[in-house]
Structure formats: C-alpha cells, structure tokens
A and B are shown apart, each in its own frame.
Chain A
Amino acid sequence: MGLVLALIGVNRFSDNSISNLVYQILREPGIFFSRQFAKASGYGRGVFDLKNILGENRRLKDENAGLLGKLTNLSKLEKTNDLLREQLNIQPENERRLVLIKIINLTHNGAASAILVNKGAKDGIKKSMAIISGGNVLAGVVKEVFDNSARVILLDDPRSLVSVRVLGKNIVGGARGAAGRLGEVSLDLITNQENLAVDDLVTTSGFDNLPEGLLIGRVNRAELSGGNLFKAVEVKLFFEPFNHPELFVVDTLNE
C-alpha cells in the first residue's frame, strides 16, 4: 500500500514522469486495439441497434437530398462573400491547422467520458485545444498534456462545459456534460422566454477558447419547467467516440 502511495507522490512531484513513461510504452498497442474495437463496434451496434439504423438511414437520405440543394447555393454565396471581403478590405478568417491524432484509450463510464490520444506537448498540443472529428464536429477539449500523449475530456463528461449558440437564433448558453448521460449534454441558462425547439442545431459560440461554429449536436428535448426561470434542454451529440479512432486537434494559428 505504501509503495502505491509513493508512486502516486513521485508522479505528482516529478511532472507526470511515470504517466509519460506508461503512456509512451502503451501508445502503439493502444492505437491498435482502439482501431480493432472501433471495427468491432460497427458489427456489435449493427446487431443491437438494427431497427434504429434503418430509421436513421431513411432520415439521412432525406437530409442528404436537402443538403445537396443547399450546396448548390453555397458556392454562389462563397463567391459573393469573397468579393465583398475584397471590396471592404476585411481580414481573412483565422487559419486553422489540423493535427491528426489517434485514440489510445477510451474511457466511457458513468464517472468519466475521456480519451487518451497519441500526440502531446512535443507535437504542439496545448491545454484547452479543441478536438474535432470529420465534418467540424466537436468531440472534446484537451484537459491534460503529457510529452507524447494528451487526455481529452469529451463533451458528455461531467467536467465538460462549453459555450454554445443555437444556429439561426440569438440564443447562447452553456453545454454541460452530466454523469452517466452518455451521448448527450444539457444546455444551461436557456430562459423560458427563448424560442428554442426540438431539432435545432447547436454549435460552439466562440465565447470561450474554442473556435466558433463547430457542430455540437441537435436539441432533442426542450421543456418548460413550471416554477423555474430556465428551460430543461437536452442536446444529442453528433460525436460518437466508437466510430472515430482518428480525430483532429484544432490549432488556431492567428489567435
């Protein structure tokens, strides 16, 4: 027992030297197993969740058709936007460098929702950087940085709090993870007067250290609570850690 306490003490007072060593050794096997587990999850979930997958597939096809329509308009808007920026002499948006990272370990239980990734301080990873998956979907935020690895808390972790905006509406709040509620977050500070509806899209607001406009999820419950000032709002997250063994760290260059 004494030895166990001594190890913890040594690690704390030697700048995580023991954690650095252990994560360095387990980096490659961790990446290998996470990739295999992610493959297994595809089959496992297919069996457990067949009914939902069929429904989701139908919904995605409809959504895809709608998005294709919007995409044709988008290229026109982009050209107009560039032209106006040039004429009004507006600075270009902050450039973002994306660093590819791989998951070494996923902890997804009632007390924590976190991942350990294979890039750390030596690769320029810093605390509070945003981690995204493909399609600009926010996965989490870097919490602890080691030499060659980093610990990221995912959005549904009880320690996570991110400033968010409801897309297309002037509503800003905080997305907070809740213990045991995996795959969803609750929105704080949404007053009963706010016009928030189910299926509204939620993105980052840019009011904290995170870049603006990263996708978070879709509102799946918004209820008026009688005596309270605020609404009870739950958001279903877009990010599913099981399907993404590889992610990106967003390094904002101009900030």
Chain B
Amino acid sequence: MSFPVFLTSAAVIFVLERLLPFIVIWPIFLFPVFAVILLLKSRDLNQTAGRLASTGLVFDFFSGYEFGRLTLVLLVLIFSIFLAKKVLVINPSSFLSLLIFSVLFSAEYLILLSFKFSAGELWFQLPFWFLQCLIILFIFTFVNDSRKIPHQTF
C-alpha cells in the first residue's frame, strides 16, 4: 500500500469512526482492525510500523483514554505481530488466515487498551469484530486486486 493510499484510508477511517457511532449502536473498531490487517499484510514491517505509530497519535487524542495510551498499545501490538510473523506461518494472501489473525490481534489491542475485559465481554464483542474485520478485509482485497488488473493494450 502506497503512502498516499495509506493516508487517505486512515483519514476516511478517522471520519467514519466519528460518524458511525451517531448512526449505529454497535461498537466500532475500524482503526484497530485497519492497523492489524495492514501489519499482517505488510512486507516491510519497519516502514508500516512507523507510519502506523504516527497515524496512531492522531487517533490517540480522540481515543477516550489519556493521551499516549493508544500509541503505546499500538507499539505493543506491532511487536506482537512481529513476533507472531517470526514464529507462526501467517499467509498474507490467504483470506481465512488473515481473518482469524485479525480477529485475534484486534482482541489483543482492545484488552490492552481497556484492561477491563472479562471473557464474557470478549465473546459479546466477537461478532462485531468479525464483521468489521470481514468488511475491511474485503475492501483491502478488492483494492489490491483491482490494482493488479493489467491495463488492456491494443
């Protein structure tokens, strides 16, 4: 994902995260899901981590927690994904693998951010994570695939 596309996606997600709570009653997790999928799909984790941490600062001011907490959680998440990529086989081109890991790492992000999750609450949130991971993954796959279609030449 090029930097302008990354910035545009982050800006769109920022606006949607502010707008959607006024329209729907279910919890919105667009930014963590976006960050996790981006990190899982990334070939150059260093570069993606730097971009995400800087973008995270903007989201941090509006996270509902004291400034700095979201960014620190994001850094822990980046480290976890870095370790997971070393130890586990995460195939960035497999939709199912990405879906499972994005749900798992989004859960890690929320647990670290709130420190208040019980097992019951996590199960309650699962359908919402799953749905939002699915939607963002579809968008990612669609954008990537449409960029791969070669131009027709005559």
User: A180 vs B132: C-alpha distance in the bound complex, in angstroms?
Assistant: 14
User: Complex formed: what's the CA distance from A241 to B24 in Å?
Assistant: 12
B128 in complex: contacting residue of A41, A110, A183, A242, CB < 8 Å: A110
Q: 0/1 per residue, A1-23, Cβ < 8 Å to B?
A: 10110011001100010110011
Pick the residue among A22, A41, A179 that contacts B114 (CB under 8 A).
Answer: A179
Would you call A205 an interface residue if the criterion is a C-beta within 8 Å of the partner chain's C-beta atoms? no
Contact check: which of B28, B61, B121 meets A109 at CB < 8 Å? B28
What total of A-B pairs shows CB separation below 8 Å? 110
Q: Determine how close the nearest CB of chain A comes to the CB of B23; give it in whole angstroms.
A: 4
Q: How many residues of B contact A (CB 8 A)?
A: 38
Contact of B22 among A8, A11, A40, A159 (CB under 8 A): A40
A33 near B18 with CB under 8 A, answer yes
For the complex, what is the distance from the CA of A187 to the CA of B84, rounded to whole Å?
39
Is A172 close to B, CB under 8 A?
Answer: no
Chain A contact-residue range equals 35 or more
A182 to B124, CA, bound (A): 11
Contacts of A23 in B (CB 8 A): 61
Which B114-147 residues sit within 8 Å CB-CB of chain A? 114, 116-117, 121, 124-125, 128
- Taking a contact as CB atoms under 8 Å apart, the answer to whether A242 and B21 are in contact is yes
Residue-wise interface mask of A (136-179) relative to B, using a CB-CB cutoff of 8 A (1 in contact, 0 not): 00000000100000010100011100000000000000000011
**B25 at the A interface (CB under 8 A):** yes
| Contact between B72 and A105, CB atoms less than 8 A apart | no
Interface residues of A in 87-111 (CB under 8 A from B): 105-111
> Are B29 and A106 in contact, with the CB atoms below 8 A?
no
A207: Cβ under 8 A from any B Cβ: no
Instruction: Report yes or no: A180 in contact with B125, Cβ–Cβ below 8 A.
Output: yes
Which residue on chain A has the smallest CB distance to residue B75?
Answer: A1
Partner pick for A4 among B25, B27, B54, CB 8 A cutoff: B54
Q: Write out the residue numbers on chain A whose beta carbons fall within 8 Å of the beta carbon of B65.
A: 112, 114
Candidates A12, A37, A108, A158; contact of B28 at CB < 8 Å: A108
* Contact with A107, one of B56, B64, B67, B72 (Cβ below 8 angstroms): B64
Of B18, B64, B121, chain A has the most CB atoms within 10 Å of the CB of B64
Q: Specify which of A38, A179, A183 is in contact with B117 (CB 8 Å cutoff).
A: A179
A159, B116: Cβ atoms closer than 8 Å:
yes
Instruction: Assess A37 versus B114: contact at CB under 8 Å? Given A8-B68, A112-B64.
Output: no
6 contacts between A and B (CB under 8 A): A1-B53, A38-B22, A109-B29, A159-B116, A180-B121, A182-B27
